Structure 1
């Protein structure tokens, strides 16, 4: 029997309520970060953990051909029509070594407890000189330790320094309270990129006045 992913049970809510509330807006700068770090190009762009394919349109507008991989059949059901997809465990990518020129992961690293393994797989399938763009929640200011009730004065409590899985969140209406999330301090996340053999090129943050998004563009030597 195929393994059920955590997002399967909330896929309809995610598509019809969570994403619908955002519409075409970019409240925390996810799309801005993706656009500035990925940039225009052509060829296949593999999205790791593509979910419902919410960013496929933007990737296509930049000139790329998006292809998505995700474990959740429920999320992929909503991705139909937005991009070609493969249901797969992204810690074991079904792609040949050095076969892909460009890959992205957008707002998914907290959903994947073994994200360092995923980064190793990304580095494996990228061609030499290939680009990987990571866009994720900011490790320093988002997590169960961060009370974001007042966006102008985020309160950080103990917990940032320790890697942990948690369902704690400043709101019970968001994704984390429903499926949980993995927190890694910023140095641990950066070391995971380096350990995978990727080289940093550019960084950006998104959200104001306290950043919500941390994004990196990397290249395989």
Structure 2
């Protein structure tokens, strides 16, 4: 089963239960990272893995024009009215070279086993000097190797150092146990940015008491 098909099966749960439970809260700092690292702008902002378009309003509030791509038809069905989006593989973006001002990838890199190839596509479609913001689960503290049953005493087991795909999870209320997740150790993840030709600029972490997200701003 492809990741797109897996998300087709959970699209309604994702929108009506998972996202609805968060309401307007920003428990792991996704919104704060976009505000700080993407910031105001007035051009096109392409979201790779846009899903149901949950971040489009924030991007639009910053002045950008949000557009998106996603592999899951089910998720895109729930994005109607939020942003203009197309069904496409993020590793083969249907976008011209050097044609967009900004790109974001929000909580999706673990859904993309070919994320290094996605980063190369991001570098290709960005205008010179364009900004890319990655917000993803923190590779050091989130994964099948991390047991967060007690958020005050996170347990890290062997597995962090290995690049792998897993559905192992400490909870059945999240996404990883349903669709699986790719994992890269922090050096491998950051090297993928550099190998794609992206220049790293700024970083942020979100959530607590241990960080749940790692955000990166880079330039083409």
TM-score by length of 1: 0.97
Match of 1:214 in 2: 214
Q: Distance in 1 between matches of 2:115 and 2:62?
A: 26
Gaps of 5+ in 2: none
Match of 1:38 in 2: 38
C-alpha displacement of 1:4: 5.2
Equivalent pair of 2:67/2:85 in contact (CA under 8 Å): yes
* RMSD over equivalenced CA pairs, Å: 1.2
The residue matched to 1:69 in structure 2 has which SS?
Answer: strand
Match of 2:141 in 1: 141
Gaps of 5+ in 1: none
TM-score by length of 2: 0.98
Q: Distance in 1 between matches of 2:30 and 2:168?
A: 22
**Is residue 74 of structure 2 the alignment partner of residue 81 of structure 1?**
no
**Is residue 204 of structure 2 the alignment partner of residue 199 of structure 1?**
no
Equivalent pair of 2:107/2:135 in contact (CA under 8 Å): yes
Q: Distance in 1 between matches of 2:182 and 2:193?
A: 16
Match of 1:17 in 2: 17
Describe the superposition over 1:126-163 as per-residue Cα deviations: whole angstroms up to 9, x where unpaired. Answer: 11111100000000000000000111111100000001
Q: Distance in 2 between matches of 1:18 and 1:217?
A: 27
Equivalent pair of 2:43/2:100 in contact (CA under 8 Å): no
Match of 2:105 in 1: 105
C-alpha displacement of 1:5: 2.6
The residue matched to 2:78 in structure 1 has which SS?
Answer: helix
Alignment of 1:46-195 (within 5 A): 46-195=46-195
Aligned residues: 219
Q: Distance in 1 between matches of 2:43 and 2:204?
A: 24
The residue matched to 2:11 in structure 1 has which SS?
Answer: helix
Describe the superposition over 1:187-219 as per-residue Cα deviations: whole angstroms up to 9, x where unpaired. Answer: 000000000000011000001110000000000
